Amino acid sequence: MRACRWTSPSCALPESSVAIVGAGVAGAAVAIRLAERGVAVDLYEAVPEPRPIGAGLLLQPTGQRVLAAMGLLDEALSLGTRVDRLFGDTPDGRTVLDMSYRRFHPDAYGLGLQRGALMGLLWRRVRELGIRWHCGVAVEGFEQDERGVTLRGAGGVATRHAALILANGSFSRLREGMKVRQSARPFPWGAVWTVLPAPPGFPQIDLRQRFRSASQMLGLMPVGRAHADDDQRGINLFWSLPVAELEGWRERIGLAPLKARMTALFPDVAPLLAGLDDAGQLREARYADVWMQRWHDGRVLAIGDCAHGMSPQLGQGANMALIDAHELAAELGDGDWPQVFERYTRRRRAHLRFYGQASKGLTPMFQSHAVVAPWLRDRFFGWGGKLPYIHQQSIATLAGYKTGWLWGRLKL
């Protein structure tokens, strides 16, 4: 990939282009959807050489529809692994989760995918569409006026654009430049995760979780291959940790005691852990709950985690980022960017509000020091899931389709 470094004003771009900050799932997807509709786009990414890495993702039927609209679903299916069922229990054998996508629709399933595999597909399409991609460019600020937006980078270099889309993740500082009521609360829990090769004879699994209260959680998910030439299928391992323990865990806990905690919670994981012999294999993840009263401010729009970051408990972040991109493209047409962005906010409101609330409500039941909430979870979730209505609603939530607690379905 050719990097255009933002070192001189000669890099100035036509005023009519839309600047997108961040080339993660949200930024790459929106660049693609806008370029497909003939919009000139400039994509800015702080990392000089972006590499396709990241945790395994469960891509929901809604996100799969967006990939299909981009013509990327078949390749994603060939790289990933189909997940039909989610099962989670406690060490004493209580079922906490047992959800099957088929109960939502006979053809529905989740797609276990390495984030790197998804990014590989999106970035390739970015290049195929000839999108101007500026790597190693950290955008430091912006100002908007009636006619456009000026971006500021290192060394006081400025470029001018018709509009700006912020897609630079939950911990974006640029978001604070939007005149919109907002909050971003770092979540007190995070995780370590890695993708390990499935050892010979390891059972074929769907998404599998084991919980002890809300303070211990291990998740396994098949995530397929990293790229087309890779013949090794991987399993994503997720281990929840409070942020206080995540900080310096290699010295304070160490790999061997951490593996011992994992096998004590879920002995079946032992053969998989044979492939985990270096603490460097485990990556750390932190997240934040991001709330915004609206997602637009004149010529500036926030999408993806920057607009609505949440914990990964519901498996929705990348899914929502893809839907944001798709729905913004659907609002192109009449009017200038402020009108398009305002219509986007109206279009996304019910869906994003529902998932923000659901994530906030559910996460403490799975990652916290709470006692009562997980006790109730262990007693009632498994039982409630046997009731057809509850099961239907739970799986519709997981599939990414709900726009309200009682009714409402995303039309995609």
Ligand X SMILES: Cc1cc2nc3c(=O)[nH]c(=O)nc-3n(C[C@H](O)[C@H](O)[C@H](O)COP(=O)(O)OP(=O)(O)OC[C@H]3O[C@@H](n4cnc5c(N)ncnc54)[C@H](O)[C@@H]3O)c2cc1C
Instruction: In angstroms, give the least distance from the CB of 387 to ligand X.
Output: 25
CA distance 171 to 412: 29
Instruction: In angstroms, give the least distance from the CB of 168 to ligand X.
Output: 3
34: amino acid identity, one letter = L
**CB-based burial label for 400 (10 Å; 0-12, 13-18, 19+):** buried
Three-state SS across 265-302? HCHHHHHHHCCCCCHHHCEEECCEEEEECCCEECCEEE
Instruction: In angstroms, give the least distance from the CB of 9 to ligand X.
Output: 18
User: How many C-beta atoms lie closer than 10 Å to residue 261's C-beta?
Assistant: 15
> Which residues, in sequence order, are CB contacts of 322 under 8 Å at separation 6+?
25, 26, 29, 62, 63, 66, 67
CA distance 33 to 12: 23
Stretch 250-289 residues interacting with ligand X (CB under 6 A): 285, 287
Can you name the residues that pair with 122 across neighbouring β-strands? Answer: none
Instruction: In angstroms, give the least distance from the CB of 250 to ligand X.
Output: 18
Instruction: In angstroms, give the least distance from the CB of 150 to ligand X.
Output: 15
Piece of 76-84, 180-188, 258-266, 300-308 that binds ligand X (CB under 6 A): 300-308
Query: Cβ closer to ligand X: 94 or 138?
Result: 138
Q: Could you give the 3-state DSSP secondary structure of residue 215?
A: coil
Residue span 3-22 as binding mask against ligand X, x where in contact by CB under 6 A, dash where not: ------------------xx
Query: Cβ closer to ligand X: 51 or 334?
Result: 51
CA nearest to 25, candidates 119, 88, 105: 119
Query: Cβ closer to ligand X: 287 or 344?
Result: 287
DSSP state of 237: E
Closest residue to ligand X using C-beta atoms: 317
- For position 58 contacting ligand X by CB under 6 A, the verdict is yes
Choice from 159, 319, 394, 397 touching ligand X (CB under 6 A): 319
Question: What would you report as the CA-atom Rg of the chain, rounded to the nearest whole angstrom?
Answer: 21
Query: Cβ closer to ligand X: 163 or 191?
Result: 191
Query: Cβ closer to ligand X: 94 or 265?
Result: 265
Helices 115-128, 25-36: axis angle to 10 degrees equals 30
Choice from 6, 35, 44, 96 touching ligand X (CB under 6 A): 44
Query: Cβ closer to ligand X: 169 or 356?
Result: 169
Choice from 162, 196, 318, 398 touching ligand X (CB under 6 A): 318
CA nearest to 117, candidates 273, 230, 14: 230
Choice from 42, 89, 289, 305 touching ligand X (CB under 6 A): 305
The runs of H, that is alpha helices, within 88-185 are 115-128
CA distance 396 to 108: 10
The two structure tokens encoding residue 50: 């972006």
Choice from 77, 167, 220, 323 touching ligand X (CB under 6 A): 167
Query: Cβ closer to ligand X: 19 or 162?
Result: 19
147 and 19 Cβ atoms separated by less than 8 Å:
no
Residue span 209-238 as binding mask against ligand X, x where in contact by CB under 6 A, dash where not: -----------------------------x
Piece of 226-234, 254-262, 316-324, 340-348 that binds ligand X (CB under 6 A): 316-324
Piece of 54-62, 291-299, 357-365, 372-380 that binds ligand X (CB under 6 A): 54-62
Choice from 4, 13, 138, 362 touching ligand X (CB under 6 A): 138
Choice from 62, 114, 144, 168 touching ligand X (CB under 6 A): 168
Can you name the residues that pair with 194 across neighbouring β-strands? Answer: 237
User: How many C-beta atoms lie closer than 10 Å to residue 129's C-beta?
Assistant: 13
Is beta strand 182-186 parallel, antiparallel or unpaired with respect to 288-292?
A: antiparallel
Query: Helices (H) and strands (E) in the chain — how many of each?
Result: 13, 21
Choice from 81, 316, 367, 368 touching ligand X (CB under 6 A): 316
Piece of 40-48, 267-275, 377-385, 401-409 that binds ligand X (CB under 6 A): 40-48
**Chain residues that interact with ligand X, rule: CB under 6 A:** 21-27, 44-47, 55, 57-58, 115, 138-139, 167-169, 174, 191, 193, 238, 285, 287, 304-306, 312, 315-319, 321
